[in-house]
Chains A and B, each alone.
Chain A
Amino acid sequence: MTLLEGQGLSIAFGGVHALDDVTLRVSQAELVGLIGPNGAGKTTLLRLLTGILAPDAGTVRFEGRDVTRMPIHRRAQLGLALTHQIVRPFPEMTLLENVMVAAALERTLRPWRAIASVATAAARERAMALLRRLGIEDAAYKLARNAPLGYLKRMQVARALALDPRLLMLDEPLAGLNNTEAARFADLIAELNAGGIGVVLVEHNLGEVTRIARRLVVLHNGAVLAEGAPREVMARRDVRDAYLGAEAHA
């Protein structure tokens, strides 16, 4: 069953075509790696899929439903969760509180019901469990603005998981992590996927992505260049050229 389908997506910024007729499909519980050289349009595609940007052309369907014009928070409520490339925690909340706000989605759904709702025990337990799952429960009471990057990245994933998502979109979660940390985090993402959550992973860390992804999609200059099993895709000449060519000109 197709979980997410971005069909024919195009968007231009002031004359520059960031994405040109891009189609991306993600199946239930699939781990798709979205790769490509800098400026290929990966983050833009992610933003179109989550609703931060609206496409000039094309549609986005989530679990069969057209969400192209649906606001971000509605997509999140439907089970489409996102983590940001540059971590965006709520700085004045603790890591636990950060996750709690997401864990209480039922309670925050409607403002006028939220005013009557004070109970935090359930949300706190869920949040704590998620922090434990991500291995960061030792920093639960640390203010987000004082927490180290690795912890914040994991907190972001915990916060996204708190929504009980069917699809997780991760924007360069391994950036800034050293080799060991990156490998561990990648393993964790693979585990989450094995548990039944679809994952779209935008990453530069090719080693880890090719290891855990079931399928790779390569973007180059705003269009899909190649798609398929990681090994095959990475062996392709044009994919290598795209990366090396881009680097040679960078």
Chain B
Amino acid sequence: MDYYLSVATFAALNVILALGLNLISGFCGQVSLGHAAFYGLGAYAAALCSVAGLPFAVALLAGVLTAGAFGIVVGIAALRVREDFLAIVTMGVGFLFLGVVRKQDWLGAEMGIARIPSPLDKTGYALLAIGAAIALLLLSLHVRRSWMGRAFDAVAQDEDAARTIGIDVAGYKIAAFFLGTCAAGLAGGIYAHMTQLIVPDTFNFIQSITILAMVVIGGIGSSLGVVAGAVLLTLMPELFRFINDYKLLVYGALLLAVMRFSPEGLAGFVRRLTGWRPA
């Protein structure tokens, strides 16, 4: 039972991460290859708070806001650069986070932060994570339908044209980054308390790519698709144990296959098959 709870919790965390990235890249069209950095920021901020004795809720909030604050900074930086440059800048943000954290003794350097207090039990985390994931899904679906979502769409499709119809492109991009990175921060906070030990290497480029893979394979832009992608990629190594050894090989091959044959991911596949476009 414990095992299933663990898996479910991780799946939920991945859903949160993927939905956050989907907001930035799928809804608003801003490439972000450094999402793991915000996951890490949330984890570290929350861990530090808890280790310092602050209540669990405060720690989680700290995680969310720290990630969100840095998200705004990156969003502002993103305004200066376009597309291809943005991909590399966000990749750079990821490496910058990692490189700085690894060297800071007060953050535990390479060894990370251990003995993080854990106020909940396995069931508690599962409920928390799943609850948060569902809430985020509902929020995502709402944003999509709202005028924010429509404005995001305009920005994603043609930001210059969007400007000429009065859309504050800069404001929307920053909003997207804020929302998406706050989500990552929340996931980080939960993760830190759940595992009680966080190390820098967890939040590396491969992690960013894994989250990207969930979004892309699920169907970038589609909240439901992205949820499916996250769940699938979490369960896959568990269902097919032998895959664990070849995890990255499979991810890479999947990414390649999806890009080549169905760039709109699972959601696109479902749409072609049934005509229904998953939101």
- Whether A108 lies near B166 (C-beta < 8 A) is yes
B 151-167 to A, binary, CB cutoff 8 A, 1 in contact else 0: 10110011011111111
Query: Within 8 Å CB of A105, what residues of B?
Result: 165-166
- Whether A111 lies near B166 (C-beta < 8 A) is no
Q: Does B271 contact A (CB under 8 A)?
A: no
Query: Within 8 Å CB of A112, what residues of B?
Result: 175
Query: Within 8 Å CB of A84, what residues of B?
Result: 161, 164
Question: In the bound complex, what is the Cα–Cα distance between A91 and B29 (angstroms)?
Answer: 14
Q: Does B169 contact A (CB under 8 A)?
A: yes
Query: Within 8 Å CB of A101, what residues of B?
Result: 150-151, 153-154, 162, 165, 167
Query: Within 8 Å CB of B151, what residues of A?
Result: 101, 108, 111, 114
- Whether A159 lies near B160 (C-beta < 8 A) is no
Given contacts A101-B154, A115-B148, is CB(A50)–CB(B167) below 8 Å? no
- Whether A116 lies near B146 (C-beta < 8 A) is yes
Task: Tell me which of A26-34, A74-82, A179-187, A226-234 binds B.
Answer: A74-82
Minimum CB–CB distance from B138 to chain A (whole Å) comes to 13
Minimum CB–CB distance from B68 to chain A (whole Å) comes to 13
Question: In the bound complex, what is the Cα–Cα distance between A91 and B204 (angstroms)?
Answer: 35
For A50, the closest partner residue in chain B by CB is: B164
Q: Does A215 contact B (CB under 8 A)?
A: no
Question: In the bound complex, what is the Cα–Cα distance between A93 and B149 (angstroms)?
Answer: 13
- Whether A117 lies near B146 (C-beta < 8 A) is yes
Grouping DSSP codes into helix (H, G, I), strand (E, B) and loop, the B interface class, with mixed when no group exceeds half, is: helix
Question: In the bound complex, what is the Cα–Cα distance between A163 and B164 (angstroms)?
Answer: 10
Question: In the bound complex, what is the Cα–Cα distance between A88 and B145 (angstroms)?
Answer: 23
In the complex, which of the residues B157, B162, B165 contacts A92, with contact meaning CB atoms closer than 8 Å? B157
- Whether B158 lies near A71 (C-beta < 8 A) is no
Q: Does B168 contact A (CB under 8 A)?
A: yes
Query: Within 8 Å CB of B150, what residues of A?
Result: 97, 100-101, 104, 108
- Whether B166 lies near A102 (C-beta < 8 A) is yes
Given contacts A88-B158, A114-B148, A116-B146, is CB(A109)–CB(B165) below 8 Å? no
Minimum CB–CB distance from A210 to chain B (whole Å) comes to 28
How many residues of A are in contact with the other chain, CB < 8 A?
37
- Whether A73 lies near B158 (C-beta < 8 A) is no
Interface of chain B residues 68 through 96 with chain A (CB within 8 A): none
Residue of B145, B151, B163, B165 with most chain A CB atoms under a 10 A cut-off: B165
Question: In the bound complex, what is the Cα–Cα distance between A76 and B164 (angstroms)?
Answer: 6
Minimum CB–CB distance from A68 to chain B (whole Å) comes to 17
Given contacts A89-B161, A91-B157, A111-B171, is CB(A77)–CB(B143) below 8 Å? no
Q: Does A121 contact B (CB under 8 A)?
A: no
Q: Does B3 contact A (CB under 8 A)?
A: no
Given contacts A72-B163, A76-B163, is CB(A111)–CB(B157) below 8 Å? no
- Whether B161 lies near A118 (C-beta < 8 A) is no
Interface of chain A residues 32 through 56 with chain B (CB within 8 A): 50, 52
Question: In the bound complex, what is the Cα–Cα distance between A104 and B175 (angstroms)?
Answer: 19
Question: In the bound complex, what is the Cα–Cα distance between A52 and B162 (angstroms)?
Answer: 12
Minimum CB–CB distance from A81 to chain B (whole Å) comes to 7
In the complex, which of the residues B143, B147, B157, B164 contacts A82, with contact meaning CB atoms closer than 8 Å? B164
Query: Within 8 Å CB of B148, what residues of A?
Result: 108, 111, 114-115, 117
Query: Within 8 Å CB of A109, what residues of B?
Result: 166, 168
Minimum CB–CB distance from B198 to chain A (whole Å) comes to 31
- Whether B168 lies near A73 (C-beta < 8 A) is yes
- Whether A111 lies near B160 (C-beta < 8 A) is no
Minimum CB–CB distance from A108 to chain B (whole Å) comes to 5
- Whether B161 lies near A163 (C-beta < 8 A) is no
Question: In the bound complex, what is the Cα–Cα distance between A110 and B52 (angstroms)?
Answer: 38
- Whether A73 lies near B146 (C-beta < 8 A) is no
State the B residues within 8 Å of A (CB). 142-143, 145-148, 150-151, 153-154, 157-158, 160-169, 171-172, 175
Top 7 A-B pairs, shortest CB-CB distance: A76-B166, A102-B165, A114-B148, A114-B147, A72-B163, A115-B148, A111-B175
In the complex, 29 of the A-B residue pairs with CB atoms within 8 angstroms, ordered by the A residue number, are A50-B164, A52-B160, A72-B164, A73-B164, A76-B165, A88-B161, A89-B161, A90-B153, A90-B158, A91-B157, A93-B153, A97-B150, A101-B151, A101-B154, A101-B167, A102-B166, A104-B150, A105-B165, A109-B168, A111-B168, A111-B175, A115-B143, A115-B148, A115-B175, A117-B146, A118-B142, A118-B146, A159-B165, A160-B165
